[in-house]
Every structure is written in structure tokens, then in C-alpha cells.
Chain A
Amino acid sequence: MPRGILPRGTAFWSALFLLALYLPAVTDFGDAFLNTCVLFGVYAALNLMWALVMGTAGIYSFATLAIAGISGYGAGYAAIELSLPWPAMLAAGAIVGVVVGLLVALPALRLRGVYFALLTFGLVELARSFVVQSKPLGLAQGLYGAPTFAPESLSAVGSGMVRYYAALALVIVALIVYAALDRGRVGTLLRTARGSEPFARGLGIGVVRIRLVVIVVSSAMIGFTGACYLAFFGGISPTIFSFDTLLLLFAMMVVGGIGSARGVLLGTALLLFIDQQFLDAGALRLIAAGVVMLVVTLVTSDGLAGLPAQLRERRAATGSLPTQTEMIR
């Protein structure tokens, strides 16, 4: 392919898209594999939005799953009570996401780094204790009976296909939102502000405003994804607010590399595979996940996707001309 005519990465993304499109035609889908694919779609969408807030904007937010869970519960409850169809539920999810996102954004403007991180951990715990004790939201069992993508009249194979392609569409929408913010003007401004806030202010960048934009837009998408989770599985349970789930998603995002979309997808796929493959192994599964996390963190500076660049840099550093001080010696 001639370089320079098409945007960088076109070949990679087209190949990935075609593979995903024809995957159902070439493999024999079991129920378990289909569920893994759908879960991948949901996790990948959440992680992409999280990477936008944490990576591009450099805001230490752990509120992703809290926003997804609160939106999922809110939209699901409304859909069940008012017997809404699924498109209305997804819209409701996005709206709740925006509202929760605004609530999260308020302290983000005042607090820095770890202080904000801990506060968002608190939001997760707050949501969990509320849901577990609320009867209308199904206590510890969770909320079930939400409208789903696949109509009940459809055969098992047909509804499987509907869910698969809905998950694919979800990932694509998330990728578009990610690219629009990360590659666009807002992304550039956010990276400048992440590097040095005083410098960004000196340039006249409205730091508060762009941070608000990234939190609100990503929260809308996270809320939408939370409602999609219900449309895929018909329900939601308090496990979405558990520390283990949060840890798993965080590990996915970081192992692959927080700085790029392909890193996030790679990490999500890798850890989801470990998670599902060793589901019966109990403690060993988590030990394996932890060891992978530790090794990748110790070896790479920016996740697996950042490895080629890291190696290039190292080669350049060892093979380069001597620096000025070395020549003087």
C-alpha cells in the first residue's frame, strides 16, 4: 500500500474489521464463545472511554464502572417500569451517563491526582451499597427483565448473530468517539494540558472547559454502553460495582497500553481470554492475571502496544552518535 495517501493504520483497522465481520462465517460459534465476544464488545467500549479520560486527558478517574453501572441500573429500571423498547433504554442510559459524568467532573476541577482517584473509588462503593440495599433494584441478585436487542421470536442462532453484530457495532461507535476526541483538536489540547497545565493556560487553552468536554462525552458513551449491557444480557447485577471487576478492566487497559486504541483492544482481548479460559481454576486464574500484569508493567513503559516504539527508541539510543559530553571526553 502506498504510504501517505491513506491515514496511518488504515490497513490494520480494515483487516481487523473484515476479520470481525466474517468471523461468524468461518468459526463454529458456541454459546460460551459468543458470550465472550459480547463481553469483549462491552469491555472494549468501556476501556476505550476510560483510556480517553485517563490516558489522553490524564485525569485519574476510577469512576468508569460506577457511571456504567448507575446508567445501566437507571435505564433498566425506567425501561422495565415504563415498558420502553430498547432504543429508548439506550438513550436513557446515555442521558444518565451525562448527569453522573457532570457530578464526577465537579470535584475533578478542584482535586488533583490520587485525591480524585480515591474519591471516584468512593463513588463505586456508594453505588454498590445503595444498590445492594434497594428493593426495587433487586438487592444483591440484581435487576432483570430489561428489553434486549434480539426479539424473542428469533431462533437461537439468529439472536446470537444479532448480539454479535450489535457488539461489533458498539466497539466501532466507541472507536469513532475515541478517534474523534483523541485525534482531534480536543485531544491535542488535552495532551498539552496534561504535560503542563500552566503552559496550557499560558497558551490560552480553556483547561477546565476541555476537561469538562472529555468527561461529559466519555460519560455519555459509558452510560450508553451500560444500557447496552442490559440489552445484551437482559439484566445487571451489583458485581459491576465490585472491586475485582474494576481491577480486571483497569488491568486490561494498562496491559495493552493506555495510549492507543489498538493497545486497549489488545489488552482487553488478552485478559478476557485469560479470565474466561481459566474460569474454573479459581485462585490460579487471578495469580496468572496478576503475574501478566506485573511482568508487562515491569518490561514495557507504555503497555504491549507501546513495545515497538520502546524497542526502536532503545536501538536508536544504543546505535546513535556519541553525545557532546562523550566527545569532549
Chain B
Amino acid sequence: MDVIFSALSLAAIYGLVAIGVSLTWAALGMLNLAHGVAFAVGAYGGWLAADHLSDSAPVVLAGGVAGGALVGCAIYLLVVVPLYDRPNWETRHLIATLAISLVGANLLLELFGPSAKALPAVFGEGSVTIAGSVVTADKLGAIVSAAVVLGAVAVVLRRSRLGLGLRVLTQDSEGAALVGVSRNRMALGVLALSGGLAGLASVLLAQTFYANPDVGFVPLVKGLLVAVLGGLGSIPGAIVAALVMGVAEALTATYLGQEYVLMTLFVVLAVVLLVRPRGIAGLLEEARA
């Protein structure tokens, strides 16, 4: 039972991070390697909000989302505006986002110092017993709120005009322009949304990962793994992949040890990709090649 709950809470966080990676890929053909910065800045946003405004849950969560979304906007201004549609976009966006991730992490180090900042427990200190195993309120809150947010995002993207525009853009960017879908506005929206989701994930996870300048690295790597496993550009794929990776990580950490986690995740990815080169759902949908 314990394993199931830790698998679920990991899956919730990875889902929030991976959907951002996947959406950005779908809209722009861009692998956002600066996504970890959004996670880290989100954590600091939550900490600043708790420190200066109030440590009530909505304020801290809003601080995290705002911090992440701000990074998303910065990436839009620094990478998408100057580089999109220019020669070598495929390599240049990778380098530009890597550079932002390098500068971002070290800027945080300069500004806030290397020591970790503790965020308030958003869901209180209590715990509940479910089916014989003790679950902290924090873990349960993270699972529930991530599931709600992920569900909401999935529904909005399926039902709304925004989601429709996004699907048009994924299939044919020139066609999208012809029917009046603004790629720039879409890109800004998608990057801000992805950043906000990463910021939310970092506040939800703050009881495990304290806010520190390097906090974004591990979520970035795992988010990338999950997004690729699910098939880039596919939201259902990302959610299924998040569950698979969450279970794999929880089992490995319990039975083999924490140091083997990343190795196991890569092995899972390698096996799946060798059987299905476009990930779990990449072949089912009209995803970007």
C-alpha cells in the first residue's frame, strides 16, 4: 500500500512537469530544456510568497504558479521570438534553452545562496490512514490536487478553442495561420501554462525537495523521460507514462535503493522505445514526428 501511494504521488508530480514538456513540443517542435528553471523559480516564488505575504495555502500555491509562468514568458521572449522559423531552429533552440537553464540555476544561487529554503506545508501536518497504511496529508493533497489540475487541463484542451488551436498548430503550422490561429499567442500561452504547471508541481513537492538552486534538474530529467515515454505531444500518453514511471520508481526505491532509480527509468524508456519508437501513444495520435 505504501508503495502505491508513493507511486501515485510521484506520478502526479511527473505528470505536471511532463505535460509542459509535451505541450511545448506539440505547439512549437521545441524541447524545452529550461523547464527545470520554471520548477526552481516556482519553488522560490512559493517561498517568497510565504515569507512576505502569507503562508496560507492559496497564496503559496499562487506564488509557485506565478514564478513558473514568469519563466515560461521569459523563455518565450528569449527563445521563441528571436529564433522561431530561423535557420537551424532545431539545434539552436536546444542550445538557447540549455543556456537559460545554466544561467537561471546560477542566478538563483547568486541571489538566494546555496542553502535550501523550507516551504510551509500547504496541506497541514496531519495524516490519514487508508487501507491500513498511513498517508501524510501532504502526499494525499499533492495527489488529489495534481489529479484535479491534470484532469482540468486535459478537458480544457479537448473542449476549448485554445485546445483546438493547439491541435491545428501541431498538425500544420501554415494551415493554422490561414485559419487565424496566432502561433505567437499560442506559444506564449503554452509556455506560460507549462511553466505554471511546473511551478505548481514544485510547491506541491516542496516537502520532499526543498527550494534550492539546483532543485529543477531532477524533475527536468524525469519530466523529459516521462514525456518521451508517453510520446511527445500526447497528453493521455504523458499521463499513462507518468503512472508507469511512478510505479517503476517507487518499486526500485523500495526494493533496490534510491541510487538505482534513474538507471531503472532509463532502462524502462529504452525497452519501450525499442519496441515502439514513438513512445506509448505517439503512434495513436497525429503527433509531431
Contacts and interface: CB of A to CB of B under 8 A. Distances in A.
B259 interface: yes
Size category of the binding interface on chain B: 35 or more
12 contacts: A115-B228, A115-B277, A118-B269, A119-B269, A122-B266, A125-B263, A129-B263, A287-B106, A293-B99, A297-B99, A301-B92, A302-B88
B87 A118 contact: no
Contacts of B83: 297-298
B102 A286 contact: yes
Across the A-B interface, the 4 shortest Cβ-Cβ residue pairs = A122-B266, A290-B103, A290-B102, A293-B99
Contact of A111 (B88, B105, B224, B277): B277
B102 A122 contact: no
A122 B274 contact: no
A107 B274 contact: yes
A86 B88 CA distance: 42
Contact of B100 (A121, A289, A294): A294
B123 interface: no
A63 interface: no
A110 interface: yes
B134 interface: no
Interface string B249-280: 00000000001101100100110011001110
Contacts of B270: 107, 119, 122
Contact of A112 (B88, B106, B266, B289): B289
Contact of B109 (A113, A132, A283): A283
Contacts of A15: none
B262 A129 contact: yes
B109 A126 contact: no
B98 A126 contact: no
Interface in B25-55: 31
Contacts of A251: 95, 98-99
B7 to A, nearest CB: 21
Nearest to A122: B266
Given A118-B228, A129-B263, A287 B273 contact: no
A326 B161 CA distance: 38
B110 interface: yes
A221 B239 CA distance: 42
Given A284-B110, A289-B102, A118 B225 contact: yes
A5 B44 CA distance: 63
Contacts of A287: 102-103, 106-107, 110
A289 B105 CA distance: 13
Given A254-B95, A297-B92, A114 B31 contact: yes
B129 interface: no
Nearest to B262: A125
Name A's interface SS: helix
Given A129-B263, A290-B99, A119 B106 contact: no
A312 to B, nearest CB: 14
A134 to B, nearest CB: 12
Given A114-B228, A247-B98, A301-B87, A283 B266 contact: no
Nearest to A106: B274
Contacts, number: 101
B91 interface: yes
Contacts of B103: 286-287, 290-291, 294
User: Which of B91, B96, B100, B269 is most buried by chain A, counting CB atoms within 10 A of its CB?
Assistant: B91
Interface string B154-169: 0000000000000000
A246 to B, nearest CB: 10
A247 to B, nearest CB: 6
B60 interface: no
A243 B217 contact: yes
B144 interface: no
B259 A290 contact: no
A126 B269 CA distance: 13
B226 to A, nearest CB: 11
Given A107-B274, A112-B289, A297-B92, A250 B98 contact: yes
B44 to A, nearest CB: 15
Contacts of A111: 273, 277
A258 interface: yes
B185 interface: no
Contacts of A141: none
Contacts of B106: 283-284, 286-287, 290
Nearest to B108: A283
A287 B100 CA distance: 9
B269 to A, nearest CB: 7
B119 interface: no
A299 to B, nearest CB: 9
Given A121-B221, A251-B99, 16 more contacts: A107-B270, A112-B277, A113-B90, A115-B273, A118-B269, A119-B273, A125-B263, A126-B266, A129-B262, A284-B106, A289-B102, A290-B99, A290-B103, A297-B92, A298-B83, A301-B87
B86 A301 contact: yes
Nearest to A287: B106
Contacts of B278: 115
B82 interface: yes
A133 interface: yes
B102 A125 contact: no
Interface in B93-122: 95-96, 98-100, 102-103, 105-107, 109-110
B270 to A, nearest CB: 6
Interface string A262-287: 00000000000000000000111011
A114 B229 CA distance: 12
A19 to B, nearest CB: 29
B128 interface: no
